[in-house]
């Protein structure tokens, strides 16, 4: 049973219990969620719940797959079975073990294509627009949802409390509010797309957590050399506020992305383990077909992070597509028990002069090979646009 009987009675906003039972709410003594037919792999979801005793909205975490909502009336018990958002983590025997899930592409590079070219040289990157043009961020999220993405990541990749305070000249509280605003914008985008497209019922929001190096604004997230200049304790102290704020704001899960080294991933996992119910994915940036950008063995890194209960999926992002098949091949000796993520860039190369060069790869065609090699959560990163996500989804969904 998920509900703690020592806690106040809650209602599950996901199934609109309040709307259904508001006429008799004064007769409701409590609401419980009873587990049934739960798979080994379960996605942790945040739900907004209503506390009838205090008439206040609260945030309450619980695992869901298929559950029964039980409403207790004075001497009468009603129940309602439903299927949860855990669809994306259903393990199934044979072939590709998890449902194909479509992630988004490059939020920042889509904003640049929309005309916000100044963010390319900004220390906050796309997070700058949380303050100056939040509607543009919401528009990008909507474009990716409409293109076929099941999950979009918030525009908080390069947002830190210190960075927001320094570069926008705001207070710490205002910085906290901006990070939470990033979640709100993505959730609003999901709601608006669902209103326009009723068939898009399962749209999730992942809170983006970039590496420490991303906020140094020197390209070191593609090297990881900053790890020798900061202690693990200081690294945790830097990451923790954003992670807590994203969870408090109600993301469905975290997107720990473009991590260049295993040590930083493990430090972040330690933080997640200390936050009740915190769950997310880990993706590494890689420099070749065997190693993360810092030189760690990719397959061993994936194996280690997947052992954590708070990690629901793992893989790579912002990596050249020419390395993806080889990286997936390195995972063959391991019994991978969670979804593998592939979220590469366009194939072009970026340098610290903020210039892109090289040729574009056909990510949608390559994705067919990646699915056959075990990837099940697919999307893109830098310079992978909404139309690319549409092509990718079309290419893999009938495999």
Binding-site residue positions for Zn(2+): 318, 381-382
- Binding residue ranges: 318, 381-382
How big is the chain by its Cα radius of gyration, in Å? 21
Residues 124/155, Cβ–Cβ less than 8 Å: no
386-396 vs 134-147: helix crossing angle, rounded to 10: 20
Q: Concatenated DSSP letters for 165-228? A: HHHHT--HHHHHHHHHHHHHHHHHHHHHHHHH-TT----EEEEEE--GGGGGTSSGGGT-GGGG
- Please state the φ and ψ torsions of residue 115, each to the nearest 5 degrees: 120, -5
Non-local (6+) Cβ contacts of 199 within 8 A are none
Instruction: Please list the helix, strand and coil fractions of the chain in percent, rounded to the nearest 5, in that order.
Output: 40, 20, 35
Give the up-direction half-sphere exposure of residue 222: CA atoms within 13 A in the CB hemisphere: 13
Separation CA 49–CA 133 (nearest Å): 30
The C-alpha atoms of residue 189 and residue 137 are separated, in whole angstroms, by 9
Can you tell me the distance from the alpha carbon of 351 to that of 122, in angstroms, rounded to the nearest whole number? 15
Residue 282 Cα to chain centre, angstroms: 9
């Amino acid at each position: 049973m998920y509900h703690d009987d020592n806690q106040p009675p809650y209602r599950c906003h996901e199934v609109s219990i309040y709307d259904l039972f508001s006429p008799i709410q004064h007769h409701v003594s409590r609401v419980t969620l009873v587990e049934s037919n739960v798979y080994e792999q379960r996605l942790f979801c945040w739900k907004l719940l209503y506390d009838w005793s205090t008439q206040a909205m609260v945030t309450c975490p619980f695992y869901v797959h298929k559950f029964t909502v039980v409403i207790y009336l004075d001497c009468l018990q009603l129940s309602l079975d439903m299927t949860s958002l855990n669809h994306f983590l259903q393990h199934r025997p044979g072939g590709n073990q998890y449902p194909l899930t479509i992630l988004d592409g490059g939020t920042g590079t889509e904003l640049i294509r929309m005309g916000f070219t100044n963010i390319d040289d900004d220390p906050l990157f796309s997070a700058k627009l949380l303050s100056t043009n939040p509607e543009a961020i919401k528009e990008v999220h909507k474009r990716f949802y409409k293109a076929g993405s099941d999950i979009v990541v918030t525009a908080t990749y390069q947002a830190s409390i210190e960075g927001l305070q320094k570069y926008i000249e705001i207070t710490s509280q205002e910085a906290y509010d901006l990070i939470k605003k990033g979640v709100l914008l993505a959730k609003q985008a999901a709601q608006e797309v669902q209103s326009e497209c009723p068939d898009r019922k399962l749209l999730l929001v992942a809170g983006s957590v970039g590496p420490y190096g991303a906020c140094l604004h020197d390209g070191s997230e593609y090297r990881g050399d900053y790890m020798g200049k900061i202690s693990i304790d200081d690294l945790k102290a830097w990451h923790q506020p954003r992670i807590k704020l994203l969870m408090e704001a109600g993301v469905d899960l975290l997107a720990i992305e473009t991590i260049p080294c295993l040590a930083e991933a493990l430090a972040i996992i330690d933080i997640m383990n200390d936050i009740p119910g915190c769950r997310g994915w880990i993706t590494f940036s890689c420099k070749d077909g065997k190693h993360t950008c810092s030189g760690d063995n990719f397959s061993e890194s994936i194996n280690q992070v997947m052992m954590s209960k708070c990690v629901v999926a793992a893989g790579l992002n912002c990596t050249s597509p020419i390395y993806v098949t080889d990286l997936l091949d390195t995972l063959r000796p391991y019994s991978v028990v969670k979804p593998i993520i592939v979220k590469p860039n366009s194939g072009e190369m970026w340098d610290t002069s903020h210039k892109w060069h090289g040729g574009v790869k056909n990510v949608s065609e390559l994705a067919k090979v990646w699915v056959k090699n075990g990837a099940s959560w697919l999307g893109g990163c830098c310079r992978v646009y909404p139309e690319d996500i549409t092509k990718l989804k079309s290419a893999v969904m009938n495999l």
